[in-house]
A and B are shown apart, each in its own frame.
Chain A
């Protein structure tokens, strides 16, 4: 199972958001149905939030799958959920399809398309890039 022989087309990841009702059920169903109808290979995750909280190796696996299209929620949330699990996403090759805001048809269309429009917020990539503690001057040193 690798990216070989797929002509650089992005891998498809679908988040089912199982443990909350934040994604419209009709959108989730329509997108998953479109994926199954397409006959294309894909990855389906029950709940990216849960996977991140567990630091599930599945996220490292997904982040290493090459260019990615992820159907989930807001790109900012998805970016930092992966980062929190030690599986930072490549901002240049990741597109998040927001099932919270898109209606079913455009969401499914964006997910299945081979064209990738990277849309993770720019900025720091990993936790290690975050600011360090502000060091206050030590009054005992002059």
Chain B
């Protein structure tokens, strides 16, 4: 994901110079815009709204006279387009303005990603060690952060179960405390909140990593050529699916190959170790 983005802001304007629309039309227009993924400001003077900024803007109104001409210059970064407020065409008008002004396409990716509650997080790096998809990293101060949220596997809340502090939320998850509901003491001890990392990705792979012995490596190599290795892996996945039934089967089945897992786990563990090491030896990532 980009460091920051300026999406199109659509303003529904009913002040001087425009004819107010009724509540039903207003609702229809705002709903249509939201359903197309556009943010809307219904402007007015009785309550504050967010201040203007450099985001591209489309102002929709039922104008008294001619529709105002586009304003702004790409060079100064502040662009405004104007169009007629009509619930039936509002979505298309916004899409045209978005494309003309080069604003990002809404909804290109289903927003499923971990959100860290830093009130709870102890910076233990378990999530970084665990995630094989490179979602986590550390900032310049060596604090854990979500760096590549678009690499997270949709509907998979597995890392939230690895966090000893229940500090990882997925706001769109079905139940608490993973969805952001308050964390209770009993949540922290609950069997279902916790999963065994090694079970998740095939106990044999992690056992091999732990012992790092030649013997284990050779056993692993032999096993991977046999049906036994596959059967063992499937057994691990079935066990995990039973333990934490909310990890989607397609996530489990699309996990990388054992070799890939071994490589990524080693990398992630090294990054976590570097983040926890004394300042002089750590590298921010």
Contact = CB atoms under 8 A, between A and B. Distances in A.
- For A32, A56, A126, the residue with the greatest tally of chain B CB atoms inside 10 Å of its CB is A56
Contact of B46 (A6, A37, A75, A138): A6
A26 interface: no
B30 A32 contact: yes
A86 B54 CA distance: 17
B42 A42 contact: yes
Interface residues of B, number: 80
Interface string B98-110: 0000001011011
A19 B110 contact: yes
B53 A19 contact: no
B188 to A, nearest CB: 15
Interface in A37-56: 37, 39-47, 49-56
Contacts of B82: none
What class of interface size applies to chain A in its complex with B?
35 or more
Chain A at the B interface: SS class: loop
A20 B282 CA distance: 39
Interface of B: 1-7, 9, 23-24, 26-27, 30-31, 33-35, 37-55, 104, 106-107, 109-111, 113, 115-119, 121-125, 138-139, 141-146, 149-150, 169, 171-172, 174, 176, 179-182, 275-282
Interface of A: 1-6, 9-12, 16-20, 22, 32-33, 35-37, 39-47, 49-58, 60-62, 64-66, 73-78, 80-81, 83-86, 100, 121, 123-124, 126-138
22 contacts: A5-B45, A16-B35, A19-B107, A19-B172, A22-B171, A37-B27, A41-B48, A46-B37, A50-B107, A52-B115, A58-B7, A60-B53, A74-B181, A74-B182, A76-B169, A77-B179, A121-B182, A123-B119, A127-B118, A127-B143, A130-B123, A132-B143
